[in-house]
Structure 1
C-alpha cells in the first residue's frame, strides 16, 4: 500500500478518533480507506444510474399504459431473460 501524509480538519480528526475509540475501526488509515472505498462505490452507482436515465430519455416517450399493462410487460420481459 502507498503511504500518504494528509492534514485533516480538526472536526474530521476528532470524528476519526471517536470511531477508533468506539472500535468501529482499528486505525485512522482503516477508516480513511473505508470512506474512500464507499465514495468510489457511490460514484460508480451514480454513473450507472445516470447511464440508465440517459438511455431511458433517449428511448423516447412511451405509449400510455395502465399500471396493469406495465406490470404485465415487465413480467413478460423477466420471463424471457
Structure 2
C-alpha cells in the first residue's frame, strides 16, 4: 500500500530530482525518492553484513597480519607481476 507524504527539498536536491525526470530516467518524483530509499536500504544491508563479517573474523582470529603487513605483501606481489 502506497503512503502519501509531503517532503521539503533543498534547491539543489529539487534540481537534481527534476534533472532525473527531465532525462526520462524516472517518470515522477515518487519514483526518484523510492529508488533512492531502495538503494539506501541495500547499502545499509551490505554495511551490516560487512560489519558482521569483520566482527566474525576478529573473533575467530583469522587475520594475524597487520594492515600494513598485508598492504606490503600486495605491493610486493604487484611489483613481482610488473603491475606496480
Whether the TM-score (by the shorter chain) exceeds 0.5 is yes
Query: Per the alignment, do residues 63 and 4 of structure 1 end up closer, same or farther by CA in structure 2, a change over 3 Å counting?
Result: closer
Cα distance between partner residues in 2 of 1:63 and 1:29: 49
Q: CA RMSD in A?
A: 1.6
1:27 aligns with 2:31: no
- Structure 2, gaps ≥5 residues long: 66-84
- Structure 1, gaps ≥5 residues long: 65-81
Query: Which residue is 2:51 aligned to?
Result: 50
Query: Which residue is 1:6 aligned to?
Result: 7
| Structure-2-length-normalised TM-score | 0.72
**How many residue pairs are counted as aligned between the two chains?**
64
Cα distance between partner residues in 1 of 2:33 and 2:56: 35
Runs of 4+ in 1 over 4 A off after TM superposition: 61-64
Query: Per the alignment, do residues 61 and 37 of structure 1 end up closer, same or farther by CA in structure 2, a change over 3 Å counting?
Result: closer
- Cα shift readout 1:10-53 (whole Å, capped 9, x = no counterpart): 00000000100000100011000000000000000000000000
Query: Which residue is 1:73 aligned to?
Result: none
Cα distance between partner residues in 2 of 1:5 and 1:62: 49
